[in-house]
Chain A
């Protein structure tokens, strides 16, 4: 059978009128933007939660060494890929902000509805890391420079360096020292000890390990600088991955 039909428009034309065309295209643009946003949200979220999730979930994982190293590096992947697509194909300097906003929306819905709503953890324990100002930064560097090379070098380094300072305003209070039964610990540790996660015992918490602690107060700058360095490299790689996923190549049937 054939379901090919062509009616309602002049022969060989897709549209009846300019009004129909404009109305349809504007509406469809919005729907495609929502499609892009939702897909980026889902794929970025599963990527981020399974590569940096533990540090992002729990306040007592947000240390000075592992968290500021792992979280920005992992987050850079999708920021670079989205910039690659949105800047190269559509000249929109909003890739990094878009994906960080998408991720944070997905995370906040989850932290409230599931971490707090289903398993009854206090929101203070499960607040996600702030990332959106880093997205602003990366997009502004790309917009001003118009260069992915400069964005990788300047933007990537700044991405890693900014992570801890932008989180510090809300995090500082949880790093206050507390003494409980003669033991010195942070408020974040205390909240964690009081909110038992049976499947995540204390001894698998990955924080502040190794001799880097001997750097004392300098641990964070060292970790942030290292994160910035790796973020540069990750940016190069994921810009190319974003370009590769923007392929418009078609395969012939005998190629698969």
Chain B
């Protein structure tokens, strides 16, 4: 990086407030609007073109979505990871307390986006998948609800979690110098739900006519979902570091409670 660019970065940082959650808020608002649009699309085209995978309308209105979303998600995953790594802080030992605190707050914004997308993927679209498949006989692995659940909402939370994880690994000293076991599990466990789709779809090729949502075939999702509980450890690690960086204000915090 040139000296000029570095000076510009410092000048920008001088005017910057330490906390700015608006990028996270706007991202979540945009995702909310996007998912509402997705839901409206489902409402109409699920029944209109989503019942028979051999119907040309199914190819047009559903499979085409999958062929578009999967490459885009792969590019986004690689792009975010690559950008974070390429622009990593190579002098992580020289990060001062205020800059470290600012980066921790940015990371919390990433965690908020991750949590928001986990809700949509694990709660909203997964249970929605239950009502669709227990209602409508499936004749393909790539059903309307799967195309939007497994291949859209899951990759989106994986990408959001990956962005936060890579941000922490490349910019936040406490996570960059060593690898947080909790953070690793918090991202990698829910990520493993995506490969587990392979087991799910393989199994459904045997049992596609009857749907018990509690069938053992689905328990892989449960197991990997448990790893989201590692948010506990991540939260504690962040609390510990914020307390360390704010020692001079301990008595002010005590006065609040």
The residues of A with any CB-CB pair to B shorter than 8 Å are 1-9, 11-16, 18, 20-28, 31-32, 34-43, 45-47, 49-55, 57, 70, 78, 81, 85, 89, 106-107, 109-110, 113-115, 117-119, 121, 126, 197-201, 204, 206, 241-242, 245-253, 255-256
Contact = CB atoms under 8 A, between A and B. Distances in A.
B68 interface: no
Q: Specify the main secondary structure of chain A where it touches its partner.
A: helix
B78 to A, nearest CB: 21
B93 to A, nearest CB: 9
Given A1-B90, A245-B230, A47 B225 contact: yes
Contacts of A52: 214
B232 A14 contact: no
B165 to A, nearest CB: 13
7 contacts: A41-B123, A43-B228, A47-B225, A57-B134, A199-B134, A245-B231, A248-B233
B131 A119 contact: yes
Given A14-B100, A118-B46, A5 B136 contact: no
A201 B14 CA distance: 65
B117 to A, nearest CB: 9
B134 A106 contact: no
A15 B21 contact: no
Interface string B95-122: 1111111000100110110111011011
A200 B212 contact: yes
A248 B124 contact: no
6 closest Cβ contacts across the A-B interface? A6-B96, A1-B1, A42-B122, A43-B228, A38-B115, A250-B178
A39 B115 contact: yes
A252 B127 CA distance: 38
Q: Specify the main secondary structure of chain B where it touches its partner.
A: helix
Given A46-B222, A50-B213, 4 more contacts: A3-B9, A15-B101, A42-B119, A200-B134
Given A2-B94, A6-B96, A39-B231, A118 B42 contact: yes
A246 B232 contact: yes
A53 B19 CA distance: 41
Contacts of B137: 198-199
Contact of B233 (A7, A55, A78, A245): A245
Contacts of A7: 10, 13-14, 98
A28 B105 contact: yes
Contact of A251 (B95, B116, B179): B179
Nearest to B109: A31
A241 B108 contact: no
A117 B124 CA distance: 13
A117 B219 CA distance: 27
A246 B233 contact: yes
B181 A49 contact: no
Contacts of B21: 27, 31
B122 A46 contact: yes
Contact of A31 (B92, B112, B184, B253): B112
A55 to B, nearest CB: 8
B248 A13 contact: yes
Contact of B182 (A6, A78, A121, A247): A247
A245 B229 contact: yes
B19 A27 contact: yes
A106 B124 contact: yes
Nearest to A252: B178
